[in-house]
Chains A and B, each alone.
Chain A
Amino acid sequence: MQQDLRALWFPVASSGDLPLRHVYQGQLLGLEFAVWRADDGAVNVWENRCLHRGVRLSIGLNLGSELKCQYHGWRYANGDASCLYIPAHPANAPARTIRNRVYRSVERYGLIWSAIEPLAEPPVIPELETAEPLALRPMPVAAPASRVVEALRSYAARLGAEAVEPAAEVPPAGAFALRASWRRDGEVEAAAFFVQPTAARACVIRGLLLGDVAEAERVATLKAHNAALTALREEAEAADAREPDAAAAVEEAKIPLSPRVTTVAGGERAASGEAIRVRVARKWRVAADVVALRLEPISGALPPPAPGAHVDLHLPNGLVRQYSLTNGPAERDAYVVAVKREPQSRGGSAAVHDAVREGDLLAVSPPHDNFRLARGGGRHVLLAGGIGVTPLLAMAKALAATGRSFELHLFARSEEHAPFADDLGGLGASVQMHTGLDPTATGDCISAILADRADDAYVYVCGPAPMIEAAVARAEQAGWPDSAVHFEHFGNAKAVDDSTAFEVALARSAITVAIPAGRTITDVLREHGVSVPTSCEQGACGTCITTVLEGKPDHQDVFLSKAERASDACMTPCISRSLTPRLVLDL
């Protein structure tokens, strides 16, 4: 039977292969992987090549939450493999489209499992769920996997023991897994073997010994199995060299082409715009008028968010709303968002509060990470206004997990209005609550917090617009540079002037389009087949930010900082327009 092996899950490493700050060089079906464990415990299985010059990432540096290429120092993030930093362009954040290929993976039974294009979930093997198996030394063999599976059928005899029952396949791990059992000194012993096809004519035998092994016998037992597997390897390699079995060779996978690198503009949207189906696993109250939703994927894994990221949530009434994720770095099995009931709700918060129930199916976009933590930094000051705590909570968890210095100040009407008191309590003394302050007192409190400034300190603000404006103004008064102050608005409450008409030229797509009054740049471009990734479409989230090559934008967003605005080097085309008759964009 010709199986598509790309769809199957195989073990690609042992848990013990991933010590602290190591990068394991893995292989499956002819593709190479860089497999590494971040300091938060998460395992990454990536294509083993730097996007820049193709150098193997397995010779790179595991820095705990990033993998750094040895060649020109490009750094990729734990989780989604997005490029965080390019040393040749230290002042510029890398484009969000620069992201290495990530393969799905799961750590189970002391093994790291992965698949190239999985069609099903990773196998659950009941017998292994209860036992704590002992992983044998993995045995690489220069012979096709199917030949090695056949050789394993007589494993009991190779061990010099009497087979208890014929070696059988291990459902649901498939034809590349066998269970062997034998009797030794009257006791029945068993092992599960998984044969990982690394290339057309090469594989690795990964064995798990079932049942308890006394500590005193552990090394002797491992050596006995290693000797049996070594003999099996030599036999299989000799047989394959004597009479190569062409039919046994495994078909190698080709690296799937990514739509992200085959299209320029809009590729990101095409690839990441696919909504992910999620189930509301839990809905609970986290403060007065605030509910949280725990959204678990129906199948597969969720793209891991960067701290501060938001998603577009598709609600049952057809509305799409942006909510920040509160996930910490190790929380990958669900997204958690919090929604405040707005008295002047345009339908979003009311739908979440009144219509969404536990068990409902919803859709979310992959995370947009436009509100980012600065690299490094000696001190991070997080200023939250009420429900604005959500992205800052994710950032605080990330900072705490990596042992960086931060303080989170939460301004709320009362303790009753402070969301996620439990999570915040877990962050200890780094969190300070300020309740019941009027706008002037809030401003003065912020001034006091920002009075001491260091060169490697950063401020992050999220909350109601007046609070953000006050914080930005107070930071400026205290001498904080624009580049050290990051903020995120809930939305753009400013009145939009869309009365101008102008022309937009796209430098890379080589087209020029007319933007009439009353229509946005992104809207008109979409009609011409150039889709710019957008999320909020009101100039608040920064997803659509685009480089301006010529012309003067008419900024109408609330995302860009004062300096970015003044530079005229970028704009948010979902809402902003042009002050010059012509704009040239890097699209």
Chain B
Amino acid sequence: MLILHDYELSSEAYAARLMLGFLGLAHESRPVDVYPGAANEAPAFRRLSPLGRVPVLEDGGLALWDWQAILIHLAATYDESRRWLPQDPARAGAIAQWMAVGRELEDSSGLARRHLAMFVDADLPLAQERAHRLMRQMDEHLWFQEQAGQDWLVDGPHPTLADLAPFPAVMLSEEGGVDRRDYPAIRRWSERFRRTPGFVTMSGVFPAAPLG
């Protein structure tokens, strides 16, 4: 049985829950009281996650404490279709690049959100400015993808980890004071992503309108 050490309001944990949802994987969820309890800093939890990070995925003898490592592990192990992490050389680099943007968004937009909601130390204007720089680039890329008939950050008929990784931070950006009004292509992309079968919501992330 997969065990997810989870925190409801964590955007990184949400990324793991999304992957579990898309792959239809049953799992046991063990809540960690990150805020205000700081249970992720407790010695017992640190034995599982040395840097005190949430989420943690336990799969048999394996315990992974980095959210993107969890995504890659789940996709590589359980996605027989290989849709979420395609192996072809043409796309591998592009996927890694947008996953890196996803991590940078967690460190900017996500940080701004944690600062405002959970009083984590941050230079708020700097974090917000960095988020806008990333989202401007992402919006431009997605607009030209649309022009080329492509729905996703990396070419192909199905979303990949390139889309999943930045999605939580993008969707929760407004809680960090990062408005998405200037990014209409991102808003359309997020709606397409939310229509993917198996999609799960979280507090602050709403489902998309059905097409029919």
Contact = CB atoms under 8 A, between A and B. Distances in A.
Given A22-B191, A62-B209, A27 B148 contact: no
A219 B188 contact: no
A219 B148 contact: yes
Given A19-B188, A24-B187, A25-B187, A140 B182 contact: yes
A204 B184 CA distance: 12
B211 interface: yes
A17 interface: yes
A489 B184 CA distance: 48
B211 A25 contact: no
A367 B189 CA distance: 38
A435 interface: no
B147 A222 contact: yes
Interface string B112-148: 0000000000000000000000000000100110111
Contacts of A226: 140, 144
A59 B181 CA distance: 11
Contacts of B208: 21, 61
Contacts of A27: 181
A137 interface: yes
Contacts of A198: 181
Contacts of A401: none
A128 interface: no
Given A19-B188, A22-B188, A137 B211 contact: no
A19 B190 CA distance: 13
Contacts of A138: 184
A223 B206 contact: no
Given A219-B144, A223-B144, A17 B184 contact: yes
Contacts of B181: 25, 27, 32, 198
A138 B147 CA distance: 13
Interface size class of A (residues with CB under 8 A): 20 to 34
B210 interface: yes
Contacts of B146: 16
A219 B149 CA distance: 11
A400 interface: no
Interface string A16-49: 1101111011010000100000000000000000
B184 A24 contact: yes
Contacts of B83: none
B27 interface: no
Given A24-B184, A27-B181, A219-B147, A59 B211 contact: no
Contacts of B148: 219
Nearest to A202: B182
The CB with the most chain A CB atoms within 10 A, among B146, B182, B207, is that of B182
B47 to A, nearest CB: 41
Contacts of A16: 146
A514 to B, nearest CB: 53
Interface residues of B, number: 19
B103 interface: no
A63 interface: yes
A20 B211 contact: yes
B91 interface: no
Given A19-B188, A219-B148, A25 B210 contact: no
Nearest to A23: B209
B73 interface: no
Contacts of A230: 140
A70 interface: yes
Interface in A61-94: 61-63, 68, 70
Contacts of A68: 209
Interface string B179-212: 0111010011001000000000000001111110
Contacts of A17: 184, 188
Interface in A214-263: 218-219, 222-223, 226, 230
Contacts of B191: 22
Contact of B144 (A63, A70, A140, A222): A222
A21 B211 contact: yes
A58 to B, nearest CB: 8
Contacts of A63: 209-210
Interface string A469-494: 00000000000000000000000000
A70 B206 contact: yes
Contact of B143 (A13, A20, A22, A137): A137
Given A137-B143, A222-B144, A226-B140, A61 B209 contact: yes
Interface string A126-170: 000000000001101000000000000000000000000000000
B140 A137 contact: yes
Contact of A21 (B144, B182, B209): B209
Contacts of A70: 206
Contacts of A25: 180-181, 184, 187
Contacts of A21: 208-211
Nearest to A230: B140
Contact of B206 (A13, A59, A62, A140): A59
B194 to A, nearest CB: 11
A77 to B, nearest CB: 16
A22 B140 CA distance: 19
Nearest to A204: B182
A124 B211 CA distance: 34
A48 to B, nearest CB: 10
B105 to A, nearest CB: 19
B76 to A, nearest CB: 33
Contacts of A59: 206
Nearest to A218: B147
Interface string B146-188: 1110000000000000000000000000000000111010011
A140 B143 CA distance: 13
A68 B206 CA distance: 12
Nearest to A222: B147
A41 to B, nearest CB: 16
Nearest to A199: B181
A198 B140 CA distance: 19
B156 to A, nearest CB: 18
A317 B188 CA distance: 54
B138 to A, nearest CB: 13
Contacts of A137: 140, 143-144
A383 B187 CA distance: 45
Contacts of A140: 182
The CB with the most chain B CB atoms within 10 A, among A27, A59, A219, is that of A59
A70 B205 CA distance: 10
B69 to A, nearest CB: 32
A324 B182 CA distance: 43
Given A22-B187, A27-B181, A61-B207, 14 more contacts: A16-B146, A22-B188, A24-B184, A25-B180, A25-B187, A59-B206, A61-B206, A62-B209, A63-B210, A70-B206, A218-B147, A219-B144, A219-B147, A223-B144
8 contacts: A17-B184, A24-B184, A61-B207, A63-B210, A138-B184, A204-B182, A219-B144, A222-B144
Interface of B: 140, 143-144, 146-148, 180-182, 184, 187-188, 191, 206-211
Kindly list the 9 A-B residue pairs having the minimum CB-CB distance in the complex, ordered from nearest.
A140-B182, A61-B209, A21-B209, A70-B206, A62-B209, A25-B181, A137-B143, A17-B184, A21-B211
